[in-house]
Amino acid sequence: MSTRVGVRTSYVILGVGLLLTLATAFWFEAESAHAYALGASLIGLTLSGVLFGVTRAELRARMRAERVAAELRDSQEALHESEERSRLTLARALDAIITIDVEGLILGWNPQAEQLFGWPAEDVLRRRLSEIIIPPAYREAHEKGLARLRETGDGPALNRRLELSALRRDGTEFPVELAITPVQLKGAMVFSAFLRDVTQQRQAQDALRESEASFRLLFAGNPLAMWVYDVETLHFLEVNAAAVAQYGYSREEFLRMRISDIRPPEDVDRLKDVVAALATVTVETRGHTGPWRHRLKDGRVIDVDVVSHAMVFSGRRAALVVATDVTELKRSEATLAKYAERLSILHEIDRAVIAAAAPVEIAQAALQRLRPLLGVPRAIVNLFDLAAGEVEWLAAAGRRRIRGGPGVRFPLKLMGDVDALRRGELQVIDVASLPRGPEAESLLASGVHVYMVVPMIAGGELIGGLSFGGASAQFPPEQISIAREVATQLAIAITQARLYERVTRHAEELEQRVQERTLALGAANEQLQQEIAERRRAEEKADHANRAKSDFLSRMSHELRTPLNGILGFAQLLEMESLPVDQEESVAQILKAGRHLLGLINEVLDISRIETGRLQLSLEPVPVGETLRGALDIVRPLAAQHGIALHAGAADERQHVLADRQRLQQVLLNLLANAVKYNRTGGTVAVSCEEILGERLRILVRDTGHGISPDKLDRLFTPFDRLGAEGTGVEGTGLGLALSKHLVDVMGGTLDVTSQVGVGSTFAVELPLTAAPVEALEPRGGSPTVDPAPPDARMVVLYIEDNLSNLRLIEQVLGRRPRTTLLSAMQGRLGLDLAREHRPDLILLDLHLPDLPGQEVLRRLLDEPRTREIPVLILSADATPGHVERLLAAGARAYLTKPLDVRQLLALVDKHAPGERG
């Protein structure tokens, strides 16, 4: 719209410029048309320029106008040039002078005539003038005039300036100015004709005439209101039709009025100043442009842009005025400005949102611009706290300042009907209707008598209201539409800003929490590290203590076994003698005590091994039936002694459990022995097996003893706790069950018990079932039976042993075989030498030797061809099964543990006697 207005205005200005150019040329009545044109052009241009300067809004139009101005300047320069040329020509050209006689014959023909008409003098002298320069159409008239002159001596052409058409030699006609003067030449009358080519003057006059007509046309028919007034009297001198139509006065009325009559009274002084200036300055430069207000005949006042230009009109100092009605333009400009301002407020809000401003800043930024735009004394952005039934000021704009909330709270009632607001409806509230209170007082004090609340809704949620108002209850639609737009935008912006604040706060909290958690974790970690380190230290300490304990036990058991070996060995020898009854009793006591001590030592050693993880097991499929039979066989004498019946169900010979054969037997023996020991006289012990889901096997040992009371059950597997049995005379160490449980555990099984006082107990060993090995192992027998009859053959036995007591024992034992010779060596190397030298029938080898380990002695014996065939029996206090197996695998014939079973040893010696070997 503004462009169209601009273009139109530019055309108007160009028109006015041109008009003034022509008008000036017309009124100046200058001598030269060129001068007019020049002057007028200059004035026109100046005016055009000034006008262009005024309409600053239309840049494009101005550019076009500048182009036009440039073109005008160019043509003006061209004009100036040609004008200069003709001025020079005229200056140089003297009039052509032709002298004729009364007959019309040419007497004189000056060079200018030659030039003007194209005839050389010699060609025209004595010829008739009418034939040479008078166009044929005028020749007759000329001849007639001449004839009259001859007759009367006078003619209308004489002594007067005439304008005529003349003929050149080339046949072209042109206007000439002519003055004919009669001259008495030598008594005869001749005529001198002075001729001048007036072609150019003619043309200028024609142009002027055309200009005049154009001006009249432009002035009279111009759509812009125009008038000319007297700068001294301010009377209208002339008005055009447009002025008459626009202002409502007739031409006659205008011509009776002064220009001050169409001004509002307050503008008259300013008008007089302007007119005075117009009147004093020189014609060329004076002019006035500017905005004015004019009163129409009907009383309306319009805004006009006025262009005045000083001039002389009918001899009076006057000014030409062109008035353009810009009322509409101004109105649309104002509307446009308001729209721009509206848009700018919305942009302001957007900018604040983008800059992540706080809600209060957004509200302040918007209010600062909004209040003046709404034209109210007060505007407030309120946030609703619907839950609390309160409203909080986010920001308020008064005439003088912007106040930022929040903090000021007042009742929600002041916002009108909240439900209506929620529906998007506006509320108009009369302050007088509010209950008297500080809020109402404050509103009235700030000039608000009626206010409007525009709901602020974002995402369907009513978050607040934009309220504004003043003295009047009139809220124009435009005001409401602005307020609505801004309220909507504010609602979105504030919601976003709150969201942003919440997200930021959340992120900060999260970060804080992460930091705290990291710190806590760090501390916990440190503590954990400390605890781990402490635990490790404690474990190391415990490990160390355990190792020390275990080392101590192992050393102690070894140290105990060696003397025990002697005690038991010699006691056994004594037992074999026929002794008096009381001594026989004593020997039996020695043997019983010694064996008890040996059992104790072995069990303590086993438990300590298990605890330090040094117990070596070889898990393999163990035939359950066979193992049970073996254990029962061993226990049978004990059962018989106690008068206890042993019952064993038929065993499934294919059942195998994954276990260490020797250790399983140890456990079963222990359970069976307990079942016998803690039974009642005439009681029974029943052994049975049951499969669980085909995966595990439970071996049950049930007795009919006195049972174990529930309060003692949990102490059952505690080492050395005999649950009071120590006072009953039943022998025991209190280690059996503890060891058994340990053993079953490490074999991957369980040992548990159910017992009923007075009824009996059932101990159950549960182990994983496994498939039978491909080759059935050769069943191992119990302890070899001793043949009491000594063989006849002579035999040499080498005993490699560093302990004197042991040596003595063996000497005594072998003393029972009189045909046997004993060689002894207290060092390994010596033993090897003796073996090589004497090639004994049997070698007894101790493992703890001062120079070489017994194992190494064995290896060397087997490596040496001379000794390779000699059977070697190991005699050692170390009863560790792994150890035993290793040595047997290395080539030892048998492994006997100390303390020695004398009968067993004798049986082995007899077995390897020369006649017995096979």
Q: How far is the CB of 554 from ligand ADP (least distance, A)?
A: 22
Query: Which residue, 349 or 685, has its beta carbon nearer to ligand ADP?
Result: 685
Tokens at 198, concatenated? 């007036």
Please, are residues 734 and 596 in contact by the beta-carbon 8 Å criterion?
Answer: no
Query: Which residue, 666 or 733, has its beta carbon nearer to ligand ADP?
Result: 733
Instruction: Among 666, 674, 820, 855, indicate the residue that binds ligand ADP (CB under 6 A).
Output: 674
Q: How far is the CB of 705 from ligand ADP (least distance, A)?
A: 4
Q: How far apart, in whole angstroms, are the C-alpha atoms of residue 334 and residue 328? A: 10
Q: How far is the CB of 657 from ligand ADP (least distance, A)?
A: 22
Q: How far is the CB of 522 from ligand ADP (least distance, A)?
A: 50
Query: Which residue, 44 or 705, has its beta carbon nearer to ligand ADP?
Result: 705
Cβ contacts of 776 within 8 Å, gap of 6 or more: 623
Q: How far is the CB of 543 from ligand ADP (least distance, A)?
A: 27
Considering only residues 392 to 411 of the shown chain, the ones binding ligand ADP according to CB under 6 A are none
Q: How far is the CB of 837 from ligand ADP (least distance, A)?
A: 50
3-state secondary structure of 469: strand
HSE-CB at 144 with a 13 A cutoff on CA atoms is 6
Span from 51-59, 639-647, 667-675, 843-851 in contact with ligand ADP (CB under 6 A):
667-675
Query: Which residue, 683 or 831, has its beta carbon nearer to ligand ADP?
Result: 683
Please, are residues 267 and 253 in contact by the beta-carbon 8 Å criterion?
Answer: no
Tokens at 436, concatenated? 């008297």
Please, are residues 234 and 319 in contact by the beta-carbon 8 Å criterion?
Answer: no
Q: How far apart, in whole angstroms, are the C-alpha atoms of residue 129 and residue 125? A: 9
Instruction: Among 262, 675, 834, 913, indicate the residue that binds ligand ADP (CB under 6 A).
Output: 675
Task: Note whether 175 binds ligand ADP by CB under 6 A.
Answer: no
Task: Please give the C-alpha separations between residue 237 and each of 232, 279, 435, 468, 619, in angstroms, as whole numbers.
Answer: 12, 16, 68, 54, 141
Write the interaction track for ligand ADP spanning residues 210-229; mark x where CB under 6 A is met and - where it is not.
--------------------
Please, are residues 639 and 681 in contact by the beta-carbon 8 Å criterion?
Answer: no
Q: How far is the CB of 719 from ligand ADP (least distance, A)?
A: 8
Q: How far apart, in whole angstroms, are the C-alpha atoms of residue 364 and residue 491? A: 13
Q: How far is the CB of 760 from ligand ADP (least distance, A)?
A: 7
Query: Which residue, 678 or 895, has its beta carbon nearer to ligand ADP?
Result: 678
Q: How far is the CB of 617 from ligand ADP (least distance, A)?
A: 20
Span from 521-529, 674-682, 844-852, 857-865 in contact with ligand ADP (CB under 6 A):
674-682
Q: Could you please report the per-residue DSSP string of 118-142?
A: S--HHHHTTSBHHHHHS-HHHHHHH
Query: Which residue, 614 or 722, has its beta carbon nearer to ligand ADP?
Result: 722
Q: Considering only CA atoms, which of 894, 858, 667, 853 is closest in space to residue 764? A: 667
Tokens at 30, concatenated? 């200058």
Beta partners for residue 465, in sequence order: 382, 455
Q: How far is the CB of 672 from ligand ADP (least distance, A)?
A: 9
Query: Which residue, 625 or 734, has its beta carbon nearer to ligand ADP?
Result: 734
Q: How far apart, in whole angstroms, are the C-alpha atoms of residue 656 and residue 650? A: 15
Query: Which residue, 476 or 710, has its beta carbon nearer to ligand ADP?
Result: 710
Instruction: Among 27, 119, 247, 678, indicate the residue that binds ligand ADP (CB under 6 A).
Output: 678
Work out whether strand 842-846 and strand 795-800 pair parallel, antiparallel, or are unpaired.
Answer: parallel
Beta partners for residue 236, in sequence order: 229
Task: Please give the C-alpha separations between residue 64 and each of 6, 18, 731, in angstroms, as whole numbers.
Answer: 11, 15, 134
Instruction: Among 705, 831, 840, 899, indicate the residue that binds ligand ADP (CB under 6 A).
Output: 705
Q: Considering only CA atoms, which of 783, 893, 910 is closest in space to residue 843? A: 893
Q: How far is the CB of 678 from ligand ADP (least distance, A)?
A: 3
Residue 755's CB: how many other CB atoms inside 10 A?
19
- Strand order from edge to edge, sheet including 316-325: 236-239, 225-230, 316-325, 301-313, 287-295
Query: Which residue, 302 or 675, has its beta carbon nearer to ligand ADP?
Result: 675
Span from 57-65, 289-297, 659-667, 700-708 in contact with ligand ADP (CB under 6 A):
700-708
Q: Which helix (H) or strand (E) holds 174?
A: strand 173-185
Q: How far is the CB of 753 from ligand ADP (least distance, A)?
A: 8
The 3-class SS string of 248-265 reads CCCHHHHHHCEHHHHCCH
Query: Which residue, 197 or 603, has its beta carbon nearer to ligand ADP?
Result: 603
Q: How far apart, in whole angstroms, are the C-alpha atoms of residue 675 and residue 670? A: 9
3-state secondary structure of 29: coil
Query: Which residue, 93 or 634, has its beta carbon nearer to ligand ADP?
Result: 634
H helix count then E strand count, the chain:
26, 29
Considering only residues 823 to 882 of the shown chain, the ones binding ligand ADP according to CB under 6 A are none
Query: Which residue, 24 or 679, has its beta carbon nearer to ligand ADP?
Result: 679
Query: Which residue, 557 or 674, has its beta carbon nearer to ligand ADP?
Result: 674
Q: How far is the CB of 723 from ligand ADP (least distance, A)?
A: 4
Q: How far is the CB of 763 from ligand ADP (least distance, A)?
A: 7
Considering only residues 714 to 753 of the shown chain, the ones binding ligand ADP according to CB under 6 A are 716, 722-723, 725, 732-738
Phi, psi of 807 (to 5 degrees): -60, -45
Please, are residues 453 and 420 in contact by the beta-carbon 8 Å criterion?
Answer: no
Instruction: Specify burial of residue 240 (Cβ count, 10 A radius: 0-12, 13-18, 19+).
Output: buried
Instruction: Among 448, 492, 568, 708, indicate the residue that binds ligand ADP (CB under 6 A).
Output: 708
Q: Could you please report the per-residue DSSP string of 36-104?
A: HHHHHHHHHHHHHHHHHHH-TT-HHHHHHHHHHHHHHHHHHHHHHHHHHHHHHHHHH-PPEEEEEETT-
Please state at what angle helix 199-221 crosses helix 2-28, rounded to 10 degrees: 130
Query: Which residue, 759 or 777, has its beta carbon nearer to ligand ADP?
Result: 759
Q: Considering only CA atoms, which of 441, 442, 494, 485 is closest in space to residue 464? A: 494
Q: Considering only CA atoms, which of 873, 856, 862 is closest in space to residue 913? A: 873
Q: Which helix (H) or strand (E) holds 600?
A: helix 581-611
Query: Which residue, 190 or 725, has its beta carbon nearer to ligand ADP?
Result: 725
Q: How far is the CB of 868 from ligand ADP (least distance, A)?
A: 46
Task: Note whether 761 binds ligand ADP by CB under 6 A.
Answer: yes
Q: Indicate the residue whose CB is closest to ligand ADP.
A: 732
Q: How far is the CB of 914 from ligand ADP (least distance, A)?
A: 45
User: Which residue do the tokens 């046309």 mark?
Assistant: 217
Query: Which residue, 146 or 738, has its beta carbon nearer to ligand ADP?
Result: 738
| Size of residue set near ligand ADP by CB under 6 A | 19
Task: Note whether 704 binds ligand ADP by CB under 6 A.
Answer: no
Q: How far is the CB of 878 from ligand ADP (least distance, A)?
A: 24
Instruction: Among 626, 703, 801, 878, indicate the residue that binds ligand ADP (CB under 6 A).
Output: 703
Q: How far is the CB of 742 from ligand ADP (least distance, A)?
A: 11
Query: Which residue, 606 or 910, has its beta carbon nearer to ligand ADP?
Result: 606
Query: Which residue, 55 or 674, has its beta carbon nearer to ligand ADP?
Result: 674
775-781: long-range contacts (C-beta < 8 A, 24 or more apart)?
776/623, 777/623, 779/626
Query: What is the contact surface with ligand ADP in residues (CB under 6 A)?
Result: 670, 674-675, 678, 703, 705, 708, 716, 722-723, 725, 732-738, 761
